Structure 1
Amino acid sequence: MGKQEWRDGEMRDGIRKVRNARASKAAGKDVYSFKVPYRDANGKQTSETFSSFTAASRFRNKVRQQRDEGLSIDPKAGRISVKEYAEKWLAAAASKREGTYTEYEKRVRLYIVPALGGRQLRAVTRDEVQKMINDLKRRGLSPMTIRNVHRTTVALFRTAQVIDHKIASSPCVSILLPELPDREVEVLTAAQVREVSAKMPARWRAVVLVAAGTGLRISEVVGLTWDRIDLEAGSVTVDRQMSTKRLLAPVKTRKSRRVVPMPDVVADALRAHREAFPPLMQEVGDLDGKTVHRTALVFTRADGAPANAGDVRRPFMRARDAVGLPASVTFHVLRHTYASLLIAGGTHLTVIRDRMGHSSISITSDTYGHLYPEENERTRGAIDAAFAADDDPDDGAAGSLARV
């Protein structure tokens, strides 16, 4: 018995063959399409039509796989373009920390949309994501920038897959990324810190010493208020920072909330600053758009308004240049300087982690672990001491296994 003809309108194994009247008229012969009925994520009966049986079969298999795996994904939902979905994704991300949102928006606008924006979300392949990464490398972007773009791309497609159920899987798998170079941390000497501070305008002079003497981030320094400073006890409570919009905001992470010991050099600088620029109570808005803080900021602009990081960075760069330091010395180097001074004093990495508000010890270790050269000597000494003890001929344990 020969193969039975597949008639118009007949369903076979989840695919219906249908005559395309418009295409048939144009071609002067019968042209058929292949329709796959299925239920979408809301349980509504719908269908997808393909011009070839092969494409219809792939779609049918994908729908069945999703059904078998218990996924409720509407394949049509992924028709949205990457550009359009990215706009919706960024709108939802606006509630995140200001700095995080700013970085997301920049990476989407400059890198992800130009490379993938015109593609349907469901159509983006791993090869296309890899090509985007390779192109960024050819353009000379730093390995860290490329990795951050990849991280944002992963977050976008993961949201589309796991939260919005627009795609069954993410194309951001097994992507080859450029290796990060060995991290080099630039630090200043105490004398250089004093020189830069002396070249700053009087209003910002203490900012340099506060940053180098407490390790606070620049946004945390300009977000300081006098009620967070105890000059007598010698401590600074860090639980807020100043946003670029000159609004008070939560610190970077939960671990960033901390109390930092204040050395005398910082306390003296703050006393002199308070004498020269008496505290002024004012109402400062919060990034949440609702809260208003009635407080006295430690550092303000000349008109008394709140300062942001940019207000400090500009005079810092001028002071740095006046001292003759290289352009690679940014304000953040003062934070590295604080850590290096603690290390020179023998402070343990876990304490440095807490003082600097790092979210994990690995961040502290990766950044500053190489600044502990004396640990090499301690390691050698510990091993030599152990083997020297093992050389003792009177040791009755020779030849036996030690259990630890």
Structure 2
Amino acid sequence: MTIPTPADIAALVEAADGQLRLYVQLCAFAGLRLGEAAGVQVGDVNFLGRSLAVTRQIQRDGNKPRIAPPKFGSERIVYLPDDLVTAISEHVAEWTPDGEPDRWLFTDDAGDPWFDNRVGRRWRKARAEAGVDCRLHDLRHFYASGLISSGCDVVTVQRALGHASATTTLSTYSHLWPDAEDRTRAATAGLMTAVDGAADALRTGAPKIGFEQGVQ
């Protein structure tokens, strides 16, 4: 598994031309798969609620796009950071300011949604200009690793990624979660910090709040 660094993602976003910039951001900061990102419509975005409904994907049928449901169990609501909501708003204002809610975020000159061929050539160009050697799917790994490092549990990560089961999430990312030894050390460090704070309070003569006061 290759997990891009924040510097890698910054370089890729900077190198992405036109509509691709938001596409890269949706993969890196919302964990969308290639077809899911291509299938986003303006009406899927709840700008006030800062969330995105993933309800479809775009697949390739010959050399044309085909609308399909997401992978089994992948329908979900993704909660978006404020900066990504702003980026979506700016993209809509520039690329598709008018129309019905079912208009696509990413379209070719004919107004059809992107699919893998349309994305692939743009992605390869941006990746080369950024000097970053990673797959588009690795942006999804970047998103997952960020959730895990921030302390999200396996069920939260499963739902955010649209995995059918927590088993899939664990089999893919278990090595990124802290093990029992790490958790034990962290918990013990918290206990020692609390005790050290209480000891400092005793030495400075602060009011004692503890066992003695709690027993009548």
The TM-score, its normalising length taken from structure 2, stands at: 0.79
- Give me the whole-angstrom Cα distance separating, in 2, the residues matched to 1:231 and 1:194: 24
| Pair 1:256 & 2:63 matched | no
Shift of 1:219: 0.2
Structure 1 vs Structure 2 CA RMSD: 2.1
- Give me the whole-angstrom Cα distance separating, in 2, the residues matched to 1:379 and 1:362: 24
Q: 1:350 aligns with which of 115, 139, 155?
A: 155
- Give me the whole-angstrom Cα distance separating, in 2, the residues matched to 1:375 and 1:316: 39
Output aligned runs, 1:16-95, within 5 Å. none
Return closer, same or farther for 1:314/1:376 CA change in 2, 3 Å cut-off: farther
Q: Which residue of 2 aligns with 1:17?
A: none
Output aligned runs, 1:238-277, within 5 Å. 238-245=54-61, 246-253=65-72, 255-277=73-95
Higher relative CO (Cα under 8 Å, sequence separation at least 6) belongs to 2
Output aligned runs, 1:1-400, within 5 Å. 185-245=1-61, 246-253=65-72, 255-279=73-97, 281=99, 295-326=102-133, 329-373=134-178, 375-379=180-184
- Give me the whole-angstrom Cα distance separating, in 2, the residues matched to 1:230 and 1:216: 16
Q: 3-state DSSP class of the match of 2:19?
A: helix
Shift of 1:260: 0.7
Return closer, same or farther for 1:375/1:270 CA change in 2, 3 Å cut-off: farther
- Give me the whole-angstrom Cα distance separating, in 2, the residues matched to 1:343 and 1:315: 30
Letter of the aligned partner of 1:318 in structure 2? Answer: K
User: C-alpha deviations, 1:98-133, integer Å up to 9, x for none?
Assistant: xxxxxxxxxxxxxxxxxxxxxxxxxxxxxxxxxxxx
Return closer, same or farther for 1:381/1:338 CA change in 2, 3 Å cut-off: closer
Q: Which residue of 2 aligns with 1:47?
A: none
**Mapped contact 2:12–2:132 kept (Cα < 8 A):** no
Shift of 1:307: 1.1
- Give me the whole-angstrom Cα distance separating, in 1, the residues matched to 2:91 and 2:187: 49
Shift of 1:281: 4.5
Return closer, same or farther for 1:195/1:376 CA change in 2, 3 Å cut-off: same
- Give me the whole-angstrom Cα distance separating, in 1, the residues matched to 2:69 and 2:116: 15
Return closer, same or farther for 1:302/1:296 CA change in 2, 3 Å cut-off: same
Letter of the aligned partner of 1:303 in structure 2? Answer: A
Return closer, same or farther for 1:258/1:381 CA change in 2, 3 Å cut-off: closer
Unaligned runs of 5+ in 2: 189-216
Shift of 1:191: 2.9
Q: 3-state DSSP class of the match of 1:359?
A: coil
User: C-alpha deviations, 1:276-331, integer Å up to 9, x for none?
Assistant: 1024648xxxxxxxxxxx820111113322211221122112211212122xx111
Aligned length: 185
The TM-score, its normalising length taken from structure 1, stands at: 0.43
Identity score, percent:
31
- Give me the whole-angstrom Cα distance separating, in 1, the residues matched to 2:186 and 2:129: 45
Letter of the aligned partner of 1:309 in structure 2? Answer: D
Q: 3-state DSSP class of the match of 1:260?
A: strand
Q: 3-state DSSP class of the match of 1:256?
A: coil
**Mapped contact 1:209–1:265 kept (Cα < 8 A):** no
Letter of the aligned partner of 2:79 in structure 1? Answer: P
Letter of the aligned partner of 2:111 in structure 1? Answer: G
- Give me the whole-angstrom Cα distance separating, in 2, the residues matched to 1:192 and 1:319: 12
Shift of 1:244: 1.0
**Mapped contact 1:213–1:265 kept (Cα < 8 A):** no
- Give me the whole-angstrom Cα distance separating, in 1, the residues matched to 2:54 and 2:47: 14
User: C-alpha deviations, 1:29-74, integer Å up to 9, x for none?
Assistant: xxxxxxxxxxxxxxxxxxxxxxxxxxxxxxxxxxxxxxxxxxxxxx
Letter of the aligned partner of 2:16 in structure 1? Answer: M
Larger Rg: 1
Shift of 1:375: 4.3
